[in-house]
Amino acid sequence: MEIQSIGVVGAGQMGNGIAHVMALAGYDVLLNDISSEALENAVSLIERNLARQASRGKISDDEMRAAMGRIKTTLDLPDLGKTDLVVEAATEREETKHKIFAALLPHLQPHTILTSNTSSISITRLASGTDRPEKFMGFHFMNPVPVMQLVELIRGIATDQETYKTCLGVVERLGKTAASAEDFPAFIVNRILMPMINEAVYTLYEGVGNVNSIDQSMKLGANHPMGPLELADFIGLDTCLAIMNVLHDGLADTKYRPCPLLTKYVEAGWLGRKTGRGFYDYRGEVPVPTR
């Protein structure tokens, strides 16, 4: 089937990025959130990011204006039922996601495809709570969405081939690359990335190195563009911890046990860039290591 309209649930960091790239690719986008302030902030941010792309010659001014014209917002989740494809990009809590899909179900068109931008939660389990598990799949964008080229497409046990091909077509129209992943905890990227970040936190916890030496070692010694602790702050330490818990619970292997120091930072509310403190303190002009 041909997708023309996209519903995006959640106007946060991921949701606004997804709305941005979908609108730029020519899709009509309906962006939903429970907060009018979040919607206003998302639209402003999308406009600034599009303007930045235009100033660098990556898109034209006409493309920028056309993309902004394709984005509408709503506080009413049922409004998304009239779209062809829904991308849920709410917080990484399974209970929240189930509630969102349950609220959407009575309002969906028969052909509407449901997807989740979850970074780790079982697609099969999310799909089983809906009336269309064959039209449900994981649509996992990387952060920041307008910049990162990869999208993980994750099939649940019931996802049919037509749904996969339709979502693959959307990824291709976005000019991004799809990686097909099976429905196992954390899929591909986070299955590999999060244990590395968790091990970096253990390295800090055990006093093998401080924040600066660990990040410098991986940037200069392994040619990583960001150190693992800097990257964790960018992702959000609460998100990192949630994914490690999914890996630990889902695979029952002690190698995925979250580091106690990661848990402690999350308990303190030091979640990284978004709260001003994580493994670095961002409240001054220059980020300063907190350990």
Task: Identify whether 267 is a catalytic site residue.
Answer: no
What whole-number distance in Å separates Cα of residue 22 and Cα of residue 5? 9
Task: Identify whether 111 is a catalytic site residue.
Answer: no
Burial pattern 176-194, b for ≥16 Cβ within 10 A else e, equals bebeebebbbbbbbbbebb
Q: What ranges in 107-188 are assigned the alpha helix state H?
A: 123-128, 161-173
For residue 6, CA distances in Å to 43, 73, 198 come to 16, 12, 35
Q: Which of 116, 120, 190, 198 is catalytic?
A: 190
Q: Which of 116, 122, 140, 198 is catalytic?
A: 140
DSSP 54-69: HHTTSS-HHHHHHHHH
What whole-number distance in Å separates Cα of residue 11 and Cα of residue 89? 8
What whole-number distance in Å separates Cα of residue 163 and Cα of residue 113? 7
Judging by DSSP bridges, how do beta strands 71-74 and 28-32 pair with one another?
parallel
Task: Identify whether 140 is a catalytic site residue.
Answer: yes
Residue 126 is encoded by which pair of tokens?
């999310």
Q: Which of 119, 120, 122, 198 is catalytic?
A: 119
One-letter amino acid identity for 55? S
Check: CB of residue 27 under 8 Å from CB of residue 190.
no
Phi and psi torsions of 201, nearest 5°: -70, -40
- What angle is formed at CA 257 by the lines to CA 256 and CA 263, rounded to 5 degrees? 130
Give the rounded distance of the alpha carbon of 166 from its chain centre. 20
For residue 71, CA distances in Å to 31, 84, 171, 275 come to 7, 15, 18, 28
Task: Identify whether 152 is a catalytic site residue.
Answer: yes
Q: Which of 5, 20, 120, 152 is catalytic?
A: 152
Active site residues: 119, 140, 152, 190
